[in-house]
Amino acid sequence: MPPADLYLLRLQWLPYLTLEECRAAGADNCEDFLARLQNRSLDLAHCPGLSARKRYALELALRGAEVAPPVEALALPQPTRTGLFEINSPGPQAPVLVSGNSEITLTVLSAVLATTISPFYLLLADCRGDTVDMAIIYESLTPDKIAAAMQEARLAELVHHNTLIIPGLAATLEHPLAAVTGWDIRVGPICGLELPMYFGEYWEPPAS
């Protein structure tokens, strides 16, 4: 089987960089900074304008193919259990990530979330085991199914906020999901390896 497409080529970098940070590393602009990072002519250790956590997030993205687990593309959906997963003992302020109950999705998100000790909730709604891209095409991941998963997990009783973060590939669900749930829906990255940059300083690395 060929490897599954983890959308590493759609990982975004520039929204998380400032011109000041890039120039502090000796680059003319952020595009130059990024090109030098990617061809390894610039070492993140020599970027004094970046915080330690931003350097960590960028390094994870640069090593995306190593950090992401090897998963094969599947001819048929492979469902895992639905429900709420607690990552790093989350409390009432922990962010809530939403996705579908694909085994591939869970494998990839678990690998990414293993790079932080920050707490999260991960809510997997029933989408028959389709990956997010296929779940949107086949309409197997819907606002009603996400709302049902939220209710079954009693999510509103666990968190003191009303924000859900959905995958970038599920951006079309943003407004319908907000209408069904009454929650604030934010569209996250398309590539899971972008999550450390997306969360910024919140993404705390494990103690070395």
pLDDT digits (tens, 9 = 90+) for 25-37: 999 999 999 999 9
Q: CA-to-CA distance for 90 and 13, rounded, in angstroms? A: 27
The pTM of the whole model exceeds 0.85? yes
Residue 1 is predicted with a pLDDT of: 65
Give the total residue count for the chain: 208
The band of 122, judged by pLDDT with boundaries at 50, 70 and 90, is very high
Cβ atoms < 10 Å from Cβ of 172:
12
Residue 68 is predicted with a pLDDT of: 86
Mean pLDDT of 157-162: 97
Single-letter amino acid, residue 185:
I
Q: CA-to-CA distance for 188 and 70, rounded, in angstroms? A: 22
Longest Cα–Cα distance in the chain: 52
Is the per-residue pLDDT at 145 higher than 90?
A: yes
And the tokens for 199? Answer: 């969360």
**What pLDDT, in 10s, does the model give residues 90-100?**
999 999 999 99
Mean pLDDT of 117-121: 98
Mean residue pLDDT of the chain comes to: 95
CATH number of 83-202: 3.40.50.11600
